[in-house]
Amino acid sequence: MKRNFTIACFAIFVLSIFTTVNLYASEEPIPFDPLPVMQFPTDNAYSIEKAQLGKMLFFDPRLSGSNWIRCSTCHDPALGFSDALPRTIGNGQKELGRHSPTVINTGYNPVQFWDGRAKSLEEQALGPIQAEGEMNQNLDDLVKELNDIFEYVRLFKQVFGEEGITPINIAKAIATFERTIVSRNSSFDKYLAGDKKAMSQNAINGMNIFMGKARCMLCHNGPNFTDNEFHNIGVKPAGPLKMDNGRYAITKAIDDKGAFKTPTLRHITKTAPYMHNGTEKTLHDVIEFYNSGGDVKKNLSPLMAPLNLTKKEKDELVEFLKTLEGEDIIITLPLLP
Amino acid sequence: MKRNFTIACFAIFVLSIFTTVNLYASEEPIPFDPLPVMQFPTDNAYSIEKAQLGKMLFFDPRLSGSNWIRCSTCHDPALGFSDALPRTIGNGQKELGRHSPTVINTGYNPVQFWDGRAKSLEEQALGPIQAEGEMNQNLDDLVKELNDIFEYVRLFKQVFGEEGITPINIAKAIATFERTIVSRNSSFDKYLAGDKKAMSQNAINGMNIFMGKARCMLCHNGPNFTDNEFHNIGVKPAGPLKMDNGRYAITKAIDDKGAFKTPTLRHITKTAPYMHNGTEKTLHDVIEFYNSGGDVKKNLSPLMAPLNLTKKEKDELVEFLKTLEGEDIIITLPLLP
């Protein structure tokens, strides 16, 4: 899989050098499908009560050992469900190694975390709650704590029946809320649906550069603008981790050293700073990064060759990325018992 | 002032012992005025843009030195604009000495903080931002940081003209937002306005105990259920502070040793735990505290004599306190630049 992908990348890379024209002209159909309706797993079907309960838990500091840190502390709806920090901060107010990934559109991801170590949002949800460096909560203690809050007992019973409050039901409720957080109706979506006025000419030019000369689409493809794969794009280390092997820690495959999940580009205007360790402050910085072929030149796939973009092309690319911002995601705070 | 008050307390205390009947019968007019319309100071008039800007700042972690702690971390609308902790937690995730006071109805307070050290909400707002143990932010740095965020520059200019981003304008915006946070239309308010079905008979009984035998109204009087004075009610020390002199630290008046501001009782169901250091978990616990005459018996004003309430009277008092919960205060999270 990984090897086939690398070969494909290399082929397209060589092709793009020799063609020197955009791979897609604006008259041709845009090779993107619209974002599908969110699917809920059969063992965790959607209900409005479950999503509302999950939202309560998402904002409740009592989910952390300190009773002070919420899921929303690092996945703050006011900040694109991230936290505006390069690397997020966890228990004890200590900086962690990676940037807080947005919750937006994570319901579309086949795996979760920058290194893909969780196979579902349900599995993901219990990770940070328990992690010593994040929310530092013991799950047995959490179940006891929530069982002391009458309204939670009532709500879990309403949603999960006699099972009531269990770690997996906590995770199921949170995951259900998270699957409702979707970036919709961006200018790009409207353009894709046929409204040719939804994007400026500069943004359309940017889209063609995105698909062509800048080769962004090699990884940022599909309706959610991610291949859901892992790549080493040569980001320099920063923060408390001197080295971060990324996906390699999970697979032990040598190709995965320093590889991180391709993040969605939807709503990207709201989730700065960028990269797995937050080293790029703005979208312009990200484009400069790719244009120069990355910070660290070894072990990279051929897709990281320099791009030679002009100033105008870089600006147009940013204009295109801006069109991926969906409608505002408006969150009303729950009232906690 | 303080002395007159003590004499008055003592007189009413003696009176209540000798009368052994409730001071107010349910047929008489209730000695409470409705909550007045919030007043905005002439040097910080209300505008919707200013309140919205203040709301953004209230939820923005970049107001703290760590860029991680928000005003809303400890004054969380999901938790009655407090934090459900006995004593709040500040910079470095360290427990502080006092319970986070709610923002609800603080616009009615003549002074702010448990010890009344700030004369206005504007003055208050800059306290926790700068306090090393709370948000640990240098104001010059904060002004620089906000000036780097284009949308904030634009909004401050819109609201404050050429003055733009200054510490006092940050404070003015936050204070304006806070003055919009009011507990309205409680069952008690409806009852007071003439809807005799708005309170149960138990709650009406509780109101009479509140005004009579339990003497709550000696301090919790006026439309906001506070005399805006400071009293030592004999709460035992708890948390990191071995001793907390309260108001004494500000006035150096011996009468103020261990005295703290009478908090509002409006929306009291949403702001547990109670007391300046959060030592009472529930409203029942608070009533037990007063019923027994406080934890610490020395230096108390005579109003702290034991109450000899029956179980039924205690339950009815709680039922009355529940009627002070206003309509839900629904907060939509701002989208931060």
Candidates B62, B83, B328; nearest CB to A84: B62
pLDDT in tens, B282-302: 999 999 999 999 988 876 777
Please list every residue in chain A whose beta carbon sits closer than 8 Å to the beta carbon of residue B61. Answer: 76, 79, 83-84
**pLDDT score for A301:** 72
Rounded to the nearest integer, the mean pLDDT of chain A is 92
Lowest mean pLDDT among A32-36, A191-195, A294-298: A294-298
A61 Cβ under 8 Å from any chain B Cβ: yes
**pLDDT score for A161:** 98
pLDDT in tens, B209-243: 999 999 999 999 999 999 999 999 999 999 999 99
pLDDT in tens, B13-45: 444 444 434 444 445 678 888 999 999 999 999
Please list every residue in chain B whose beta carbon sits closer than 8 Å to the beta carbon of residue A73. Answer: 68, 73
A223 token code pair = 């309706």
Mean pLDDT on B35-60: 97
Report d(CA A185, CA B39) in Å as an integer: 42
Among the listed residues A102, A99, A97, A96, the one whose alpha carbon sits nearest the alpha carbon of residue A79: A102
**Residue B144 to residues A76, A308, B166, B202, Cα–Cα distance (Å):** 23, 35, 9, 56
**pLDDT score for B302:** 75
Q: How many CB atoms lie within 10 A of CB B257?
A: 17
* Active site (annotated) includes residue B49: no
Is pLDDT above 60 for A10? Answer: no
Chain position carrying tokens 């904030």: B152
Report d(CA A74, CA A150) in Å as an integer: 27
SS (H, E, C) A72-109: HHHCEHHHCCECCCCCCEEHHHEECCCCCCCCCCHHHC
Report d(CA A238, CA A97) in Å as an integer: 8
Mean pLDDT on A10-22: 43
DSSP A126-159: HHHHH-TTTT---HHHHHHHHHTSHHHHHHHHHH
**pLDDT score for B296:** 87
Report d(CA A223, CA A38) in Å as an integer: 12
**pLDDT score for B300:** 73
Confidence band, pLDDT 50/70/90 cuts, at residue A11: very low
Contacts 24+ apart (CB under 8 A), A31-36: A31/A211, A31/A217, A31/A221, A32/A192, A32/A221, A32/A222, A32/A223, A33/A222, A33/A223, A34/A189, A34/A192, A34/A193, A34/A223, A35/A105, A35/A108, A35/A182, A35/A183, A35/A184, A35/A189, A35/A223, A35/A224, A35/A266, A36/A108, A36/A223
**pLDDT score for B20:** 38
Is pLDDT above 50 for B271? Answer: yes
- pTM equals 0.92
Is pLDDT above 90 for A96? Answer: yes
Candidates B67, B331, B335; nearest CB to A84: B67
A113 token code pair = 């975390």
A1 token code pair = 């899989």
Q: How far is C-alpha B299 from the chain's CA centre?
A: 24
Confidence band, pLDDT 50/70/90 cuts, at residue A12: very low
Report d(CA A265, CA A214) in Å as an integer: 15
pLDDT in tens, A293-332: 998 887 677 778 999 999 999 999 999 999 999 999 999 9
Mean pLDDT on B170-196: 97
User: How crowded is the C-beta side of B327, counted as CA atoms within 13 Å?
Assistant: 8
